[in-house]
Every structure is written in C-alpha cells, then in structure tokens.
Amino acid sequence: MNRGTLFVLSAPSGTGKTTLIRSMMEGGLSSFGGLVFSVSHTTRKARVGEVDGRDYHFVDHPTFERMIEENKFLEWAEVHNQYKGTSYEEVLPRLEKGIDVLVDIDVQGGEQVLRRYPDSVSIFIMPPSYRDLESRLIQRGLDDPDEIRRRLDVSHSEIERYRLYQYVIVNDDLERASHVLAAIILERRHRLDRMDETVSRVLGAFPGKGRKREDSGPVSPTDAPAMASGLGTKAGAGENGYGKE
C-alpha cells in the first residue's frame, strides 16, 4: 500500500490558516477523502467554543511533560508561552494506512518535522501585510490585547523562516488561497509514486492473462496484455490512498 503524505502547514497566528483549511475542505477537497487533521496536544486553556479532542487535546503541564519524557511527540515546542505538540499517535498510524495527514504547527515544530521527515510537503502561509495580520487578530476576538501583542511580536521572526518550506501561499483572497492549497495537495497525490496502485487496479480489471514483465524495455503489442495481467495480481493487495478513514 502507498504511504500517505504528511503535509506541514505553518503561519503566524492570525494569518487565517484555520479559515483557509476549512474553506479548502468546503470548496471540494473533502470529496476526495483520505485527508485527516492531526489534533495537537496543548497546555493552553480552551477558548470559548473549542472542543477537547476536536480542536486540541487539552492537557495540564505535568501530563504534557510526562508525554515528552515518554517520547510520545513527533514534535513539540513552546508557542506563545504554552506547550503545543503533535503526538506520533495522531500521525504515523494514518500515514501507514495510506491516509494523508495535515499538521498545523508553528515554525519551531515545522523545523523539527522537516528534519525528521524530509519527505513531508511543507507549506508556509503568509499574511498579505502586517496591518492585515493585526486587524485579523483583533477582529477574530479570541485573544486579549497582551496576547495579541505577543503574537504580533513573534510574527516577523516566524515569517523570516519561510525558506524552510517548499511552498508559500499569501492568504489575501480566501478563495484564491484555498484553491492554491488544494492544488498543492492534489498535485502531490497524483504523482506517479502515489498512483501505481490505482493504475494497477484499473489494469487488473482488464481482460487478458500472462506473466508480469519485470524490465522496462520497449513494449510490443503482444506484451501489453501480459503486463496488464501481471500488474493485476499486485493490484488486489491494497487501496489507492483515497479511502476515507
């Protein structure tokens, strides 16, 4: 079975990452299935409307520190004075099942993940300007003025690390930005290394029988049915990575 892909998204707080991901899913990507959001652990208190297990796993400091000691985290960092971390449990079993996983983490966490999993696809989301970032944080109404100031203070140094990432999206127009995000995810899913099983499955249902051809030399008209049949035996083994979890 093809392994799923790990998508790493980072942005300064208030850029619109959560809104963008939601817009992308509503814009049609959910119909493709097979994309799951990793739910982080945090010591931050839940905001009004946040649900434990959906928005975060909200835990206390001793629990988070015990998880660090027990090596439960794929990455963790202190973000805006609170611990945040992605557990292995949220990510690895899904990738192994061929499901794509999207992690929304800060640049410190992004750096750790990209070092350990260089095959990840990394995307940095930018605000169109400092003014937009400030007004989005204020207008969102979730953080008090001191917290907003803290988040704005670190935003410049976060953006300076954008070169760690493979893709950059400026979240100016929400619809345009969400199309770009969907395009990156879909492009990755349609690469040859992710499509082998789908092709095999289709070919496997073709009529014809014969041996599997191991070399990649020229194909004669008489070889073609034999190849189809050979690939077909391989195809029965797995899914194509598009199944919903």
Least Cα distance to 122 among 109, 135, 110, 134 occurs for 110
Nearest CB to ligand 5GP, comparing residues 127 and 232 = 127
- What is the size of the binding site for ligand ADP (CB under 6 A)? 13
Question: Facing residues of 57 across strands?
Answer: 41
The partner in contact with residue 161, picked from ligand ADP, ligand 5GP, none with C-beta cut-offs of 5 to 8 angstroms by kind, is none
Nearest CB to ligand 5GP, comparing residues 9 and 228 = 9
State how far the Cα of 11 lies from the Cα of 5, in Å rounded to an integer. 20
- The interface with ligand 5GP within residues 78-97 (CB under 6 A) comprises 79-80, 84-86
Q: How far is the CB of 77 from ligand ADP (least distance, A)?
A: 16
The partner in contact with residue 109, picked from ligand ADP, ligand 5GP, none with C-beta cut-offs of 5 to 8 angstroms by kind, is ligand 5GP
Strands (E), 11-99: 35-37, 41-42, 57-58, 73-79, 82-87
- The interface with ligand 5GP within residues 38-57 (CB under 6 A) comprises 40, 44
Three-state DSSP state, 121: strand
Question: Angle at which helices 192-204 and 223-235 pack, to 10 degrees?
Answer: 110
**Residue at 245: amino acid letter:** E
Query: Residues 6 or more apart from 73 whose CB is under 8 A from it?
Result: 41, 67, 85, 86, 87, 88
The partner in contact with residue 174, picked from ligand 5GP, ligand ADP, none with C-beta cut-offs of 5 to 8 angstroms by kind, is ligand ADP
Kindly tell me which residue out of 24, 34, 101, 106 binds ligand 5GP, with binding defined by CB under 6 A.
106
The position carrying tokens 């982080």 is: 40
Under the rule (CB under 6 A), what is the footprint of ligand 5GP? Answer: 13, 40, 44, 75, 77, 79-80, 84-86, 104-106, 108-109
